[in-house]
Structure 1
Amino acid sequence: MKKLSQDKLCVGLPQTPGVYLFKDSSGVVLYVGKATSLRDRVRQYFSGHDSRGERIAQLVSVADRVDVQETDTVMEALILEANLIRQYRPKYNVDGKDDKSFSYFVITKEDFPRVLILRETELFSDGNLDKSSASVPVASFFGPYTSKKHMMIALKILRKIFPFHARREKSEKGCLDRQIGLCPGPYDGGVTREEYCKNIRGIVSMFRGQKRRLLSSLERDMSVFAKKGDFEQAARVRDQVFALRHIRDVALLGRETSLFGRDSSQNVRIEGYDISNISGQHAVGSMVVFENGESKKSDYRKFAIKTVSGSNDFAMMREVLARRFRHDEWPMPDLVLVDGGKGQVGVAEEVLDLYKLKKVGLAGLAKGPTRKKLDVHKSELFPPSDDLLEDVNFLAQVRDESHRFAVSFHRQKRSKGLLSKGGE
């Protein structure tokens, strides 16, 4: 824990994910919260903003100091927040909350346990675990959590790393999750009980905030499998280790960064744009969409360039964005990401200004002078939330997908053009 006083908040807080604890002069924990950027989040409490609300103003007035604890990812901050709330039951987290406000992760007591999310009223009676009224046999539970939506996102991330059977039916017949790798198939012989329970133990370790211990255990398992010559199992565990070290939890970055009315329940939508042509021929543009960290291919769009002659990528980007934002019936993005630097960002600013899209953030992603690292060019006219730009590797994934989609469409047009001796 790192102790901070209010007069040092501006310089002492890290811009990393983690949890913060408001404490009174006796060291009693008053409130526990999570943040994608500890510095930005805690600063808001001391901004004097008129919309903070009486409860936040009162908390700040009685707090003596703020302690912070950094985490590697936002998901780990979410889990740590829940564990600390359970440990301290802070006044400003608990008071005024009804039973329906909290939810828990539940591990069921079955041969092949499931991982569920249940409301407090489904688990407890008079503050005690009520196994008789619980809708499922309970082996263990973890919480409380204040956001069921964030729990669902976190569990979705973990299930990709540690697959488990989620259906009540003890069968894999007609199980779509089995087909896409989210269920290892315990009821059709796809996995042994021991292997299955290892996945559940991995999830439990994450719920307990024991990621480093879990990684050490998995690395030992990987070494054992490799020495035995079981390279398939070694590769499976290797992939789990890699996934844990590179958790993409952009969905949890969300709209969490404001205390003053931003809706944390909304999706985070990022749109990536790119242009593809050869000397202006068969020029096309692409739009790809990521919501909550996942590609949403049903919203992808292709644009055959219609108004630009010759090789002018700036003009082509202007056309693509203008055609896209004529469709005000389409969902508006939180972030527009263009492939390029200041020039492409400047063109995009013109279009966003034309359509008066003040709430849309804008940035460009380009290779730096050394070509070995990526530079993020943040628009000054349409600045995006800093939390949306934290994971440059994820932004690169969006950029790469827009490039792939544009090149694929360009090749289609070029092939048709060759077949028709000039095409369109």
Structure 2
Amino acid sequence: MDLQSKIAGLPALPGIYQFKDKTDKIIYIGKAKDLKKRVKSYFQKKSYRSPKDQSLINRIFDFEWIICEDEADAFITEATLIKKFKPKYNVRLKDDKSFPYLKITNEQFPQIDITRTIKNDKSRYFGPYTDVKSMRRLLDVLYRAFPIRNCYIELEDGTIIKKGLGIQTITESDYQGMIDDMILFLKGETKALEKKLTKQMQFFSSELMYEDSARVRDQIKAITSFKRGQRKLEADFTNRDVIGVESKDNHHVVVILRIREGRILSREKISVDTNDTIAEIFRSVIINFYMNAAYIPNNIYLSELPTEAEELQEWLSDKNSRKVVFNIPKRGVKLKELKLANRNAKLLLNEWMLNLAKRKDYIPKLLTELQDILRLSKPPRLIEAFDISHLGGTDTVASMVVFKDGKPYKKGYRKYNINVDQIDDFESMREVVFRRYKRQLDEENPLPDLILIDGGKGQLSSAKESLDKLKLKLPIVSIAKRLEELFIPGESESLRVAKNSPALNILKQLRDEAHRFAITFQREKRTKNIARSKFEDIPGVGKKIVEKIYKRFQNTNDMKDLSDKALAYKLGVSQKIAKMIKKLLT
């Protein structure tokens, strides 16, 4: 690939670039004000590069680029693509699911709910919140302070019967007033809200509207109770966020304290595993955390400026419709708050590291039993299992499932389309095992402690040939379905394992999961590929019957072994049609 010629054709515009390795996998995604200048900088000689940067450059085989409207658009596109492709060399948040938000729906009588998806539906979104338990507690407070509906029945006179905390009627305008109050609360403007509610309570009392007065009194109590649970800081009532961090090795915890009206409204935690600088970590956290934030304070305090600080400030200011500034506190209240954020981060990091150590030290007993049975050098904490599936020799696929510490690790599951033309399970197994571990070697990814093959000696031998071709010496075993026999390379006889052995059971679970995953993928592929089947040439046979055929028979030739009556029953067709189907197969 002539990268220099490709760089010469890059535009000097803002956008996103994606570096790829020789397997066409995206390994890094970056943002640039000037695409040409930024990408070119990677290939210029420098006196020093970090080991990570040098490793990245050594693996760049090709790149793609996307033009963005402006830098703000580039920030969002970059973060979205990093979440989607999870490139090896980008800073990736451990909590890489979309952050949860509180959503106030855009309806005549709005509801409030939790969502991880921001839609352009004119609803109001508040957050993000990284601690779901705390967010649910907040939701409980909202229902107590603002008794809005979970569901409603609208009456002809424009009132509604509300089912939430009790059953009551309320007009649309009064209901909307409660929603406005809730929005003030979620913004942290509790002083203004308490003042407003106190006036309402006094008005209701003066008009002898005692039930309404009691309702507002209860709202004020719920808000006051919530505030008591928040830590009160010194008398600086400017709204701000304070971002602290604590690191150990390549593990980092970032804490964001949301301070509103002199109180800590919430503490958000984000975990990161990377060897990048703190400045790079702050940049990634700020983009992801504030990308969909409903409210951004004017001041954000940190221990050091993030990478691209000026561009980030400009982006946040544009989102906020007023200036947002990063500050590094040197003294006073703000420095105390930063130290508090750092202390929180340290405690959370210690807790995280302790849990990591516990998980690392804990090895399920069944894995040590499996180690003994298979004579392995260590317990197989990471096991990868393979299965092949086809229908009558067509649409052959393979699956690979992963168990970590004895439990399914679904993020690691993989599907493969197999290129073998005829029915050949041995050649199919050779292909999938070679493809899997060739890629793992190319990408320098971890290798399993044990490989499990669904099948007998033939499938095992085929998989072993592929490993030998790659010069890999990995423990491998196969499990045959009929007698649940285990085979290992170099042994003519199967291993004898008690039928109720936990070690055998986990291998059976792996085998069954690999089979399920392969069958599901194979059927999806088959259904997708059915444009017109030969069976549709039979009068009375349509797509629904064809789908039944492929769902109920892994090998369509098996239908020949059934009687006309049995096949008719299985497919829900007449015996005449069943006979024609069988005739087509002869």
TM category, shorter: 0.3 to 0.5
TM-score computed with the length of structure 1 as normaliser = 0.35
TM-score computed with the length of structure 2 as normaliser = 0.26
